[in-house]
Every structure is written in structure tokens, then in C-alpha cells.
């Protein structure tokens, strides 16, 4: 895998580890603030956010496997899967939640895919 692709896959992975933490263990303190959740809604949204956080954790694991799996073909498949899922989820998040998600998730994922297949 080209070094630029490795860097972008690692970046997207770290972003999703951070999102996982914000949506699960840090939601009631830091996550709710980052996501702009009103204090009155934090408790009612905590379980759903934790579930959503698990999915972001799964994406981070797929990306991590893309970086460390010993077979390059399998590693590339994991990286492709993870980046493609992040790109699609980012577009959906931008349409349904806030446009900022497009820049935080989709842009780095698409750049990672480009680096993976064009370099």
C-alpha cells in the first residue's frame, strides 16, 4: 500500500476511534457537547449514540486491519471496505445531520481511496 494511502487510512481510523469514544464512553461528558446535543436530551439519546458508536468502532477496526493485515490483498480489501463505508456514511450524515460531517469523514475517506487506487 502506498505511504500516502497508509497515512490517510490511519487518519480515518483515528477519526473513527475518536468518534467511537465520543459516542460511547465519553458521550455524557464530552460527546454531547461536541455533537451539540442539548443537556435535556443527553440521557434520552445516550443509548442510541452508544449503539451508533459501536458501528464507528467497527469501521475503525476494518481500517486498522487494512493497515496491519499481513496479506496485502486482504489488507487492501479491508482498507477499501472501511474507507468506502466511511465515505457513504459521511455523505448520509451530511444530508441528514450536518454538512460538516462531509468534510470530517467523507473527504478524508475519498482521498484515502484515491491514494489506495491511483498511486
Per residue in 19-61, pLDDT (tens digit) is 999 999 999 989 999 999 999 999 999 999 999 999 999 999 9
Q: Name the residue among 94, 100, 109, 85 with its Cα closest to residue 10.
A: 109
Q: Name the residue among 85, 90, 95, 65 with its Cα closest to residue 1.
A: 65
What is the model's pLDDT at position 48? Answer: 93
Q: What is the pTM of this model?
A: 0.92
Number of H helices, E strands in the chain: 6, 0
Amino acid at each position: 500500500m502506498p505511504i500516502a494511502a497508509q497515512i490517510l487510512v490511519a487518519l480515518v481510523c483515528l477519526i473513527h476511534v475518536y468518534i467511537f469514544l465520543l459516542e460511547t464512553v465519553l458521550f455524557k461528558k464530552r460527546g454531547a457537547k461536541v455533537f451539540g446535543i442539548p443537556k435535556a436530551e443527553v440521557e434520552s439519546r445516550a443509548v442510541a449514540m452508544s449503539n451508533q458508536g459501536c458501528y464507528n468502532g467497527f469501521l475503525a477496526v476494518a481500517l486498522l486491519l487494512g493497515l496491519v493485515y499481513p496479506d496485502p490483498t486482504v489488507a487492501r480489501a479491508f482498507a477499501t471496505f472501511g474507507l468506502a463505508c466511511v465515505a457513504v456514511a459521511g455523505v448520509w450524515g451530511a444530508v441528514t445531520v450536518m454538512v460538516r460531517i462531509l468534510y470530517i469523514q467523507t473527504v478524508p475517506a475519498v482521498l484515502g481511496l484515491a491514494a489506495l487506487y491511483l498511486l
